[in-house]
Amino acid sequence: MKILHCCLSCFYNDNYNYQENLLPQRNKLDGHDVMIVASTEVFDGNKEIGYTQPGKYTNCDGIEVIRVPYKKINVKIANKIRAYQGVYSILKDFSPDVILFHGLGAWELLNVAKYAKKNGIKLYLDNHANYFNSGTNWLSLKILHKIFYKKIILKALPVVEKVLCIGIREMKFAQEVYGIPEDKIEYYPLGGYVLPEKEYEEKRKSIRTELNLSEEHIFFLHSGKMGKEKKTVELIRAFKSVKNPQFCLCIAGSLLDDVEDIVLQEISKDKRIRYLGWKSGNELQTLLCGADVYLQPGTPSSTLQNAMCYKCAIMAQPIEEYKFLLADEGMYVNDEDDMRHAFESISKNMVSDMADKTLKRAKKLLDYEKLAARLYE
């Protein structure tokens, strides 16, 4: 089967553990012919949106990636309208059996829908937009999303098999903002890989040896692009207040300007805390295998789902999505006091038991081997 992933409504970054990386990778492993058509938008220095050059290359998974340029209009307008050069020709040349269009906000969706209708192929859309990350001001919500993107989506919708929403909040946004009927929407969470036990144990042993941690240590991991909303500062202060010598906290990712100085200052006062800097997708996977508890007390991140697949206990904000994924198997925290109480309650046996239950839920809900198979139906 030929499967085309269109990453044209947002950025696309190589070597990350995002859905648009892991799902094509799984399709390739399953023996399918896979291509990614992407915008030139990338993370620049892992902090800000930047742009790379249009072109064609093969990524680390052996998948052909074609970066297409915007149509020749002002770049500030182009990155909202998201109309591109040459996409229809790429579709004709590749002749896919299935297309997954990642994200809903793009003029180019109309061309992709036109191709799908003409050739009778399956077109799926996915939605990552919610009230927190999209339409965050009046102009964006009322004009860009509720008028411009909505008209594009509804025009394409008769050709679409399903709109695959990554979470409950995204399902709500799709219905309320874009007017997508409930029967067109399907829950399709961000997932991860459940590794074979031998591979998991090898990765766990290697990273804990590298970090000089025994199995008696309780290894906490916090990751992402960290600003105030991630609650990294509150997390560090709560951790420092609990003086357990067997605790180790590692922070992996980039520190945004609004927290960088204070985070580094707080870390310098406790030798149990280490800032590891930015890590690639593969490096982060190894860290998650080594970790006992993954910490996500602030804004959501897809790494939480990966952490569940790599047998981590979870401490997270009690948002609806996480409560659905974790049920009663998570430690839910709203503020620094909650975090401190959670750290005080943690023991090795408790963490081990919670991690086993979390992995069972991951196998049921999040394994990309099962999620990828949805596209083969």
Same-fold call for 2-188 versus 197-365: yes
**What are the residue ranges spanned by the domains of the chain?**
2-188, 197-365
Choice between 73 and 115, residue whose per-residue pLDDT is larger: 115
Q: Residues 98, 14, 281, 270: is their CA dihedral positive or negative?
A: negative
Question: Are the beta carbons of 127 and 149 closer than 8 angstroms?
Answer: no
pLDDT tier for residue 281 given thresholds of 50, 70 and 90: confident
Q: What pLDDT is recorded for position 239? A: 98
Helix, strand, coil percentages (3-state) for the chain, rounded to 5, are: 45, 25, 35
Whether residue 45 is predicted with pLDDT greater than 70 in this model: the reply is no
pLDDT of residue 193: 84
CATH-assigned architecture of domain 197-365: 3-Layer(aba) Sandwich (3.40)
Query: At residue 103, what are phi and psi to the nearest 5 degrees?
Result: 90, 160
Query: Which CATH number applies to 2-188?
Result: 3.40.50.2000
**pTM of this prediction?**
0.82
Average pLDDT value for the chain: 94
pLDDT tens-place string over residues 6-24: 999 988 999 887 899 999 9
**pLDDT number for residue 49:** 83
Are 39 and 67 contacting, i.e. CB atoms less than 8 angstroms apart? yes
pLDDT tens for residues 146-182? 999 999 999 999 999 999 999 999 999 999 999 999 9
Q: Span 355-361, mean pLDDT?
A: 95
33-38 β-sheet, strand order: 55-58, 64-67, 33-38, 2-7, 98-102, 122-127, 160-165, 185-187
pLDDT digits (tens, 9 = 90+) for 256-272: 999 999 999 999 999 99
